[in-house]
Amino acid sequence: MRRDHDRESGGPEQPAREHVGEPVGAEHDAGGADDEHEHDRSVAQLAGRPWSLSLVTGPLRPARSGGRREGGHNRGMDATERDVALPDGRMVHAFAAGDGPVPAIWHHGSPQTGAVLPPLLEAGAPRGIRWLSAARPAYPGSTPLPGRDVAAAAADLAAVADAFGIDRFAVLGSSGGGPHALACAALLPGRVAAVVTFAGVAPFDGTDGWFAGMRDPRGLRASLEGRDARARYAEVEAFDESVFIAADWDALEHDWASLGEDAGRASADGADGAVDDDVAFVTPWGVALEDVRCPVLLVQGGEDRVIPEHHARRLLDRLPAAELWLRPRDGHISVLRALPVALDWIRAVG
């Protein structure tokens, strides 16, 4: 969206709280798939695999070897992995890629490894993004943190940023990463410049309406009975292909195929990380959304069957400086195609 009013008034006007189309600061759209178009896919690859909020899968690549990697899917940019020691004795497995002047921390979905995926690199490189990410506790390479809440992510990511010599940064989170990105903004107000969430989860309000529109909320419902109940459900849960619309499948087969592959790697390591995520989502987060004072962009697909649109509206109601970018034809995965425009927004407001 080109802000012609800037030339007339000498500065940007206050953005609308909600809009359909590009957010203030965006220069172009990344495009999207036609929801009516059907795409071939192998449902057999998904059958019987455990999932939480955003499990997708595809052909598995070789497991990570650790250390420093170059080239390959990183388009010639170096990607660094390191284990960061925390004050409580735990280790968190962290990732860094890109060398631009705009630091941004990516909060992965559930389940993911935390790796900086090719679409992040491709969108970030021309915009000067320096990516950081980390596997949450109990995901591959990171020490479990029994009973962790959403707020716990803030101290872990602050330590990761310190380890890489970064003081101030933007945070972005997809699906299950959304709450953790918001927690960082609330608890690290002097360090977080802006927040973007894609299909982010809203705090559980104790009512059945929170689950409305979710095609398969059984894992989250099991979490209401405690971690043991959620872990038992993880032993028998299977992927329901109907949670994704045609646009989601198109994204998984093309530009976001690496997301599915990464989810497969995370799932192969066990369900503990995803189980802990789900329990954290339906219990008190340990953070007040009203404390998030920096700009927030909520990017939401209108056809999302995993985290429905009303979650974004709940977040909008409680975040003082948030705006909602509704993409009516997107689902849970295809909404990630808005990443390039969201990065433009970060550069505009940061």
Q: Hey, what are 167's tokens?
A: 């003081």
Backbone dihedral angles phi then psi of residue 296, each to the nearest 5 degrees: -130, 130
In whole angstroms, how large is the CA radius of gyration of the chain? Answer: 19
Output 168 or 78, whichever has higher pLDDT: 168
More confident residue, 350 or 137: 137
Identify whether 16 is part of a domain: no
- The model carries a pTM of 0.83
CA–CA gap between residue 227 and residue 245 (Å, rounded): 30
Does residue 3 have a pLDDT over 70? Answer: no
CB atoms within 10 A of CB 284: 11
The chain-wide mean pLDDT, for the chain, equals 84
Inter-residue contact 1 to 26 (CB < 8 Å): yes
Instruction: Indicate left, alpha or beta for 160 from its phi (over 0: left) and psi (-120 to 50: alpha).
Output: alpha
Residue 324 pLDDT greater than 60, yes or no: yes
Structural domain range at position 171: 28-349
Q: For residue 244, is it within any domain?
A: yes
Neighbours of 217 (CB within 10 A): 17
- Percent above pLDDT 90 for the chain: 77
**Residue 11 counted as domain residue:** no
Query: How many domains in the chain?
Result: 1
Which pLDDT band, with edges at 50, 70 and 90, does 300 fall under?
very high
Asked if the model's pLDDT at residue 220 lies above 90, the reply is yes
Q: Is residue 160 part of a domain?
A: yes
Residue 19 lies in a domain: no
Query: Residue 232: inside a domain, yes or no?
Result: yes
The reply to whether 4 falls in a domain is no
pLDDT band for position 18 (50/70/90)? confident
H or E stretch at 327: strand 322-327
The CA distance from 322 to 190, in Å, is 18
Could you tell me the CATH number of the domain that includes residue 45? Answer: 3.40.50.1820
What confidence category does residue 79 fall into, taking pLDDT thresholds of 50, 70 and 90? confident
pLDDT tens per residue across span 253-277: 999 999 999 999 999 999 999 999 9
- Residue 39 is predicted with a pLDDT of 36
Contacts (Cβ under 8 Å, ≥6 apart) of 3? 12, 13, 24, 25
Look at residue 3 and tell me if it is in a domain: no
Q: Are 321 and 182 in contact (CB under 8 A)?
A: no
Report yes or no: 322 and 24 within 8 Å, Cβ to Cβ.
no
Whether 37 has a pLDDT exceeding 80, the answer reads: no
Please state the separation of Cα 198 from the chain's center in Å: 6
CA neighbor of 114 nearest in space, from 122, 123, 126, 105: 105
Average pLDDT of the segment spanning 324-341: 98
